[in-house]
Structure 1
Amino acid sequence: MEQKQTRLYWQLALISLARLCLNTGLRMVYPFAPAFARQLGVPVTAVYRLVTIRNLAGFLSPLFGPLSERFGRRAILFGAMIVFSAGCLLVWLWPTYWLFGAALIVISVAKVVYDPAMQAYVGETVPYKQRGKALAVTELSWAGALLVGGPLLGIAIERQGWSAAFFWLGLFGVVTAVSLRKFLPSANKTVGGRGASLADYGRVVWQNPVIWAAMLYNVLIMAGNETIFLVFGDWMELSFGLSLLALGASAGVIGGAEITGELFAGWSVDRFGKRPVIITTGLLNALACLLIPLTDGNLTAALVAYFALFLTFEITIVGGVPLMTEIVPSARSVVMSSTIAAGALGRALGSWLGPFLFSQFGFSSNGWVSAMITAVATLLLALWIREARDQ
């Protein structure tokens, strides 16, 4: 038993390292967009356009969901990392604007292939009572992309040029892909299971209303966060006149809140229950949305409220992942792929709604609308989303 537990710890560490590589490739464009633009000889808005196109990859998640049901989790995790590495190394060999854009899209596609298969793998490997901690470990790679991956790539870009970031990501991706192939077990009890084809995938979603509820929940919770998050920088600049200082501080606040939330989620959801924790933090997140506009004129209070916003949001999201793996246990990759696509839709809706509210009615409207959307999402989860069986 102890040997089995040790093996599981190493497997979790390995899939988390691979995910750290993916998340770093996904998130690096935000701090380094100006550097990429300068060295490519294009305006920074051209880089942002590529990011917008890249973000649409989340909608492709249901297309790839059946793959791990058909070929097995390990094969898809390995394949996603190989695709990721190929995209990165291609732009390193031929560093042009269009291949840079292609690499961003490939990275995003690799992530939407990797994440549902990884979450389904953990769902099958780890008992539900310990699953919150296990999935929280893998989620540390999200904050780690900003706190660890970002600084390391910054050093590489400064010393070796912008394309060096893609070389090191590609190399690390190959190493983790080979490691996944070697150390993860090949047996997979769910191969050929529910959702193994697109037609079967559609039937599973249609026959399980809880999946529709989970998708709507993810649309709302992501839209609520994006509605206030996207315009927060503009509000900081207008409120405090300290654009660089405020934005720099808020970036550190985000990273700190994310890693604290991931650690707290891993500690709490298995002890107190997945649903009670995320319902509580969902309501607290709605409250934080209301409070942020009230901190106008006080930078310290604004950053404290911002920390609370991202802390509660991160706990809600990370704590929700193990719950989602158990709402239809026989079709985990279907559920996870569907909720990822729904989350991408929520982000898109929030990215439209946030600037509209801010320009037309001011930042207070962002706070009120975000709070209402988040509260409705939390109520939806409380009423209709629960585990398929008592645990």
Structure 2
Amino acid sequence: MSDNGMKPMLILLAIVAFFIGMDSLVVSPLIPDIAKATAVPMERGGWLITSYALFYGLTAPFFGPISDKFGRKQMIVTGMIIFSIGTFCTGLSQDFNTILGFRALTGLSGAMVMPSIFALIGDKVPYNMRGTAMGMIMGAMVGSTVLGVPIGAFLTSVGNWQWTFYGIGVLAMLVAFIIMGVLPKTPPTNEIPVSAPVAMVSGIKTAFTNTSVFFALLSTFLWTVSLQGIFSYIGVYYKENFDFSVEKIGMVIFLAGAGSIIGNVIGGKLADQIGKKAVVSIATIIAAIGVVSFTLLTEHVIFAMIVHVLWSTSIGFGQSSLTALISELSPKVRGTVMALNSSAMYMGMMFASAGASWLLVGGQTFLAIGIMCAIASFLVLPIIHFLIIENSIMRKRSY
């Protein structure tokens, strides 16, 4: 595919990633209104995010092999249609358990779409441009969460919480039809003449015959822990130490998210120039130092905010490079690998949140969480250098 043909494809895929990312956290500011409308305690509102993440993580390994067997476009289109329906129906529901079911359905559809997008980039984009491409997609996902929270809050303030889900659902269906007509048909990469469950087992087995894949997934798990351990309690950090209001916390998260977007884009481009492992190495060191420094600055609000933004930028800086590196490890089952990578990400998210909660409940300070995150970040460094071997043949062909 030529550079001219590749750019429209990447823009379209970035738009898809924007919608998937936005839907995952847009529910956050809507929780009080949804809880009131469905007559449930506000504390249960967090389940709306958990159900999305849980079903995304659990089902991603199933859809990866199907993507390898039937093609990326088919999975992306099908996933976006289901995503649209699930999101729209979330707005129609008045029963909390029914809403949870539709949130689970949208998480499942996200698991169909995003690994297929990452695999498609690995299929179509030359190695020396893949970091930039991954940076665009990851930047769109991060940007969607930054914009999704204020967009959801605004729509609720001028209308009601259902408007948010109606809007995302209708626009997502429009995007699905655009993909159907514009995105070129993608042939299967691993034609296994068996049923989907057997294909899943076979594909995962094939992926793990490459030991680099296992350590790559471990790197993604650790990288997510290094981010989510603190991020999951970032609101509590600012409230307890600086008595920030919800609006102030939202503004800080917005600035940090903007830094992460910039980090993803710059890190992706730099990875194509100096190498993906080099960029991830730089990012791990900065992220580890940054997260510990952040947890120590409990009496210096300006410095804490500056370090928070720099730390978030470093996370984005390494994320696109790590994703691009993983996408090349086992090309024949790339969809499977990227699906497992998504699962590793969400498992890391759950582990980090649980670990941080356990530390705080046990009377530990935020410094303990920062140390946990820093250790996770530093562990990525030896893994990518000594335990992950890049596919040198495909790398040479891509130039």
TM-score normalised by length of structure 2: 0.91
For residues 261 and 119 of structure 2, the distance between their equivalents in structure 1, rounded to whole angstroms, comes to 23
Tell me the alpha carbon deviations over residues 17-46 of structure 1, each in whole angstroms, 9 at most, x when there is no partner.
122111111120123222332333332212
Residues 194, 200 of structure 1: 8 Å contact kept: no
Aligned residues: 389
Instruction: Name the residue aligned to 2:34.
Output: 36
Distance 1:339 1:194, change over 3 A: farther
Distance 1:153 1:249, change over 3 A: closer
Instruction: Choose which of 324, 334, 337 in structure 2 pairs with 1:335.
Output: 337
Distance 1:365 1:150, change over 3 A: closer
| Percent of residue pairs identical | 21
Worse-superposed segment, 18-27 or 196-205: 196-205
Instruction: Name the residue aligned to 1:168.
Output: 167
For residues 75 and 258 of structure 1, the distance between their equivalents in structure 2, rounded to whole angstroms, comes to 31
Instruction: Name the residue aligned to 2:275.
Output: 273
Instruction: Choose which of 239, 249, 253 in structure 2 pairs with 1:247.
Output: 249
Q: Secondary structure at the match of 1:42?
A: coil
Instruction: Name the residue aligned to 1:310.
Output: 312
Q: Secondary structure at the match of 1:163?
A: helix
For residues 254 and 193 of structure 1, the distance between their equivalents in structure 2, rounded to whole angstroms, comes to 44
Instruction: Please report how far the alpha carbon of residue 292 of structure 1 lies from its aligned counterpart in structure 2 after TM superposition.
Output: 1.1
Gapped regions of structure 1 (runs ≥ 5) = none
For residues 153-232 of structure 1, the aligned pairs below 5 Å read 153-188=152-187, 190-192=189-191, 197-232=199-234
Instruction: Name the residue aligned to 1:297.
Output: 299
For residues 212 and 194 of structure 1, the distance between their equivalents in structure 2, rounded to whole angstroms, comes to 26
For residues 36 and 109 of structure 2, the distance between their equivalents in structure 1, rounded to whole angstroms, comes to 27
Distance 1:341 1:166, change over 3 A: same
Instruction: Please report how far the alpha carbon of residue 300 of structure 1 lies from its aligned counterpart in structure 2 after TM superposition.
Output: 0.5
For residues 216 and 193 of structure 2, the distance between their equivalents in structure 1, rounded to whole angstroms, comes to 18
For residues 31 and 385 of structure 1, the distance between their equivalents in structure 2, rounded to whole angstroms, comes to 40
For residues 178 and 73 of structure 2, the distance between their equivalents in structure 1, rounded to whole angstroms, comes to 11
Instruction: Name the residue aligned to 1:104.
Output: 103
Instruction: Name the residue aligned to 2:5.
Output: 7
Worse-superposed segment, 12-21 or 47-56: 47-56
Distance 1:187 1:202, change over 3 A: closer
Residues 33, 161 of structure 2: 8 Å contact kept: yes
Distance 1:191 1:174, change over 3 A: farther
Matched, 1:384 2:387: yes
TM-score normalised by length of structure 1: 0.93
Matching residue's letter, 1:361: Q
Q: Secondary structure at the match of 2:189?
A: coil
Instruction: Please report how far the alpha carbon of residue 189 of structure 1 lies from its aligned counterpart in structure 2 after TM superposition.
Output: 5.1
Instruction: Name the residue aligned to 1:84.
Output: 83
Residues 20, 149 of structure 1: 8 Å contact kept: no
Worse-superposed segment, 150-159 or 380-389: 150-159
Instruction: Name the residue aligned to 1:288.
Output: 290
Residues 59, 345 of structure 1: 8 Å contact kept: no
Residues 65, 333 of structure 1: 8 Å contact kept: yes
Tell me the alpha carbon deviations over residues 221-278 of structure 1, each in whole angstroms, 9 at most, x when there is no partner.
2122222222332222222223436523322222222221122123211111111001
Gapped regions of structure 2 (runs ≥ 5) = none
Residues 225, 348 of structure 2: 8 Å contact kept: yes
Q: Secondary structure at the match of 1:361?
A: coil
Instruction: Name the residue aligned to 1:74.
Output: 73
Matching residue's letter, 2:380: A
Matching residue's letter, 2:368: S
For residues 14 and 370 of structure 1, the distance between their equivalents in structure 2, rounded to whole angstroms, comes to 34
For residues 125 and 334 of structure 2, the distance between their equivalents in structure 1, rounded to whole angstroms, comes to 13
Instruction: Please report how far the alpha carbon of residue 132 of structure 1 lies from its aligned counterpart in structure 2 after TM superposition.
Output: 0.9
Structure 1 outlier segments of 4+, above 6 Å: 193-196
Instruction: Choose which of 245, 250, 260 in structure 2 pairs with 1:258.
Output: 260
Distance 1:372 1:258, change over 3 A: same
Instruction: Please report how far the alpha carbon of residue 338 of structure 1 lies from its aligned counterpart in structure 2 after TM superposition.
Output: 1.2
